[in-house]
Amino acid sequence: MVPARPAQAAPAAYDPAAEVVGLCSELIGIDTTNAGDDSGPGERKAAEYVAERLADVGIDSTLLEKAPGRTNLVARWEGTDPGLAPLLLHGHLDVVPAEAADWRFAPFSGEVDGGYVHGRGAVDMKDFDAMILSVLRARRQAGVPPRRPVTLVFTADEEAGSGYGGHWLVDEHRDLLADCTEGVGEVGGFSTVVGDRQLYLVEAGEKGLGWMRLTARGTAGHGSMRHPDNAVTRLARAVTALGSYDWPVGPTPTMQRLLEVAAPLAGADPADADEVLAAFGPAARMLGAGVRNTTNPSMLQAGYKVNVVPAVATARVDGRFLPGQEDTFRDQVQQVVGPDIEVEFETHQPALETPFDGDLVDAMTTALLTEEPDALVAPFLMSGGTDAKAWHRLGIRCFGFTPLRLPPDLDFTALFHGVDERVPVDALQFGSRVLDRLLDLA
């Protein structure tokens, strides 16, 4: 059950969503592209912007960098019950690259048009960064602290594995986070429609990450001759086999709970995961990856001249595995590509899953249903990863909860890292109201 809020004086009137659209637009306007190779502008300007907005209302921040320009921000606001463990509110400041020629609006314009805020980071994840700032600034100015202490962390480098951000903070500055027991961050709390019912999905887990290098070796030689021992041919067979491999469905408890909630709405058997998830429309693209392991080849490299058969060919594969299946995943990858292919896991991060219960889950559910009483709330397992993987190392129980009430016809999951990324203005305002309510309940 959600614990009762301690008796206190009536709060001053305030609007938690008053600034969220402007803050989101201005954050998007700060280019924090992270290409994963240290070539980008870094996160410092965005971190300084956040620090200034917090300082305006009397919240001090600490800026921390592993390398120049790769800036993280940590701040704290005490709650009305200092005996409670702090709630971690976290968002990352970096974004993936964007090719401006492909976009309707310049990706770093933060243009507000047609009921949307447009630009790279609008949903991943400067929307939630703006919600946090809008809610805390409004509450601080009105003199309405949260129920429990809040630790704010805005990180660098989430889009490239968090080596300059979350994981570095855990390695070098864990004292700033060590007393947090629960966290709320990106990807979750957004609406979908199944049948005729609005359903809000809260992330309660995420797949593990196994980025792999496949290497095939053969005999180098002249391209005019016969080469049965061709590294490129051998690699191509392996990549085709792995990219087309049909990984079996095996829902974990999180996704089993979602299937049970959604099956009656979809008119489907909860045992048929793909049939149930098809009722989510375009969101099935992401949700379907949450019930099976996945392997997607994404890069190929071989040779240096058309008439020279190379001795080595390599490919990189984005692999994601379900909680509890890491060893099985590794073994199956090797079996699919065959014994002649070397498989190296270049980047590894574990899968996470937490039970969808407890006071924080009750608080998130109540905060959503107070805004939309006829909706349903269920957990899901995210196909990607977040900074929660870093906080998990400290024993922090994390959820994805960026509340957004979305138009039914919006292909929301396609906007993550997609062209013309945008977030509805009224969804930002909705999310700010829900987040504000959460800080009274959590």
C-alpha 10: how far from chain center: 36
Count other C-beta atoms under 10 Å from residue 242's C-beta: 23
Closest listed residue to residue 341, CA positions, set 234, 183, 247, 426: 234
C-alpha 418: how far from chain center: 14
Q: Which residues are catalytic?
A: 94, 158
Count other C-beta atoms under 10 Å from residue 308's C-beta: 12
Cis before 125? omega within 30: yes
Residue 303: is it exposed, middle or buried by C-beta count within 10 angstroms (0-12/13-18/19+)?
Answer: middle
Q: What whole-number distance in Å separates Cα of residue 396 and Cα of residue 50?
A: 24
DSSP reduced 3-state for 116? strand
What does residue 292 show for φ and ψ, rounded to 5 degrees?
Answer: -155, 160
| Residue 299 backbone class (left: φ over 0; alpha: ψ -120 to 50; beta: rest) | beta
Q: What whole-number distance in Å separates Cα of residue 154 and Cα of residue 152?
A: 7
What does residue 198 show for φ and ψ, rounded to 5 degrees?
Answer: -80, 130
Range 5-13, long-range pairs (CB < 8 A, 24+ positions)? 5/147, 5/440, 5/441, 6/80, 6/81, 6/147, 8/80, 11/142, 11/143, 11/144, 12/142, 12/143, 12/144, 13/142
